[in-house]
Chain A
Amino acid sequence: MGDPVRVTDDISHERFEDLYRAHYGRIMRLCRLLLHDTQEAEEAAQEVFLKLLRVSKGLTGVMVWEAWLTRVAVNTCRDRRRSWWWRSKRGNEMEWQTLQLPSIAPSPEEVTVSREQRERIWHFLRRLSSRQQEVFVLRYVEGWTGEEVAEFLEMTPGSVKRHLFRAVQHMRQALGGRS
C-alpha cells in the first residue's frame, strides 16, 4: 500500500506539499477516529506532519510515506491519549464538527443508514478499548492488512486477530438486528 519513494536528500518543499495534500485528509480522519475529538485530531495531524518535516532530514533508503505517516499518527494519538489532560477532557462532551474529506459516492447501504444508527456506531467505537480501536480502524476503516496493522502497532498477528474479533463482535452490536 502506498508508493515507495527513494529518499536521497531532505524532502523538498514541493515534495512535502505533495505529501501533505495527499495524506492530510486520511491522517486527519485516522486521528479523529482514535481521539474522537476534531480539534485534537487536527492538532495531532499537524504534529504528524511536523515530525515528517523534522525526521525526514535523517532518513535514507526507500520510504513508504503512507505507512510511515500512519505509524506516526497512531503513536501520536496514543501519546495524546496517555496524557492526563486528554483523559480529563475525554470525560467532557465531544464536539463533532463536519470535516471536508474526500467524499466517496454514497452507496445504497449508506443511504439507508439513519442518523441514529450512525451515532450508535460512533458511540460503540468510543466504547472499545484503545487497542481495539486502533486495530479495528486500521484494518476495516483504513484498509491495512492484518500483518501491516501488527507491524504498525508492534503486535503479533495472532494478537491482532484476537483484538479484531472482539472489536468486530462489539461493533456489530451497534447495528442491532442487522446481523
Chain B
Amino acid sequence: MNPCVSEEVLLSVYDGDASPEARAHVAKCQICTMRYEHLVKDLKLLGQVLRDPPPQPAPRPVPQPVVRRWFPLVVTSAATAGLVWGYMQWTAGWRLESSRPPLSTVRANEVRDEDLARFFSQAVGPAVFSTMELGVTDFPERATNLAYVRAALDGGWPQERCSGEQTRGCENDPFALLFDEEEH
C-alpha cells in the first residue's frame, strides 16, 4: 500500500485544510515533500504569470471574408465598365450628331426627291411604258392614230372623223376618241 498522499490532499495541505496526519506525512515523506514543493512552485508561478499582463500575440493579418475581399474588385470593375460604356455611348452620339446633315440640306434633299419623282412619273414613265415605238416599221395604218400623231405634231386635235358639225364637239370632248378606239 502506497502511504503517499494524493494530489488532492497535497492541495488541501497547501490550502490549510488538510488533516494533521496528512500534514505530518508530507513533512516526513521525502517524496511527498518534493511533490508538495513542486505544487507550491507551480501554483506560485501560475499566479505570478496570470497576475502579469497577458503576452501580446504577434500581429497576424486578419483574414477578410471572401465577400469583402472581392467587393472592391467588383465595384472597381463595375465602375470601369460603366465609364467605358458611358464613353462609348457619348462618342457614338457625338458621331451621329456630327454625321447628320443640317436641316436645310435635308429639305433640299426632300425637294430633290420630289423633283426626281416627278421626272420619273412624267418623263421616264411614258417613255418606258409607251405603246408607240418610233423604230417600228409596221407602223399601224390606223387612220385614227395617224391622225392623232399628225395632229399632235401640228399642235392641234385630229380632224379626220370630225364632220363640220362635230368639229367643235371633237375638240371639246377628247373622250369620244377613246370610245371610238374601243369600238375597233
Q: Which residues of A contact B (CB under 8 A)?
A: 29, 32-33, 93, 96-99, 101, 104, 107, 109-110, 113, 115, 117-119, 121-122, 125, 137, 139-141, 143, 146, 161, 164-165, 168-169, 171-172, 174-175, 178-179
Contacts and interface: CB of A to CB of B under 8 A. Distances in A.
B108 interface: no
5 contacts: A29-B51, A93-B57, A143-B47, A161-B8, A169-B7
Residue among B12, B42, B46 with the most chain A CB within 10 A? B46
The 10 closest A-B pairs by CB, nearest first: A96-B54, A140-B47, A141-B50, A121-B49, A98-B53, A118-B55, A141-B47, A165-B8, A99-B53, A122-B54
B41 interface: yes
Contacts of A140: 43, 46-47
B57 A96 contact: yes
Contacts, number: 91
Nearest to B48: A110
Contact of B11 (A113, A115, A137, A165): A165
Interface string B23-51: 00000000000000011011111111111
A119 B50 CA distance: 10
Contacts of A122: 49-50, 54-55
Contacts of B54: 32, 96, 118, 122
A178 B50 CA distance: 17
A98 B45 contact: no
B15 interface: yes
Contacts of B56: 96-98
A53 B171 CA distance: 130
Contacts of B48: 104, 107, 109-110, 113
Residue among B43, B44, B53 with the most chain A CB within 10 A? B53
B115 interface: no
B17 A161 contact: yes
A137 B165 CA distance: 146
Contacts of A107: 48
A140 B42 CA distance: 11
Contacts of A101: 51-53
A51 B18 CA distance: 38
Interface in B70-105: none
A121 B46 contact: yes
Contacts of B44: 109
Contact of A175 (B42, B47, B60): B42
A32 B44 CA distance: 19
A119 B53 CA distance: 11
B46 A171 contact: yes
A80 B41 CA distance: 33
B41 to A, nearest CB: 7
B33 to A, nearest CB: 15
A125 B50 contact: yes
A110 B53 contact: no
A109 B43 CA distance: 12
A137 B46 CA distance: 10
A110 B61 CA distance: 31
B17 A146 contact: yes
A119 to B, nearest CB: 5
Contacts of A33: 50
B45 A115 contact: no
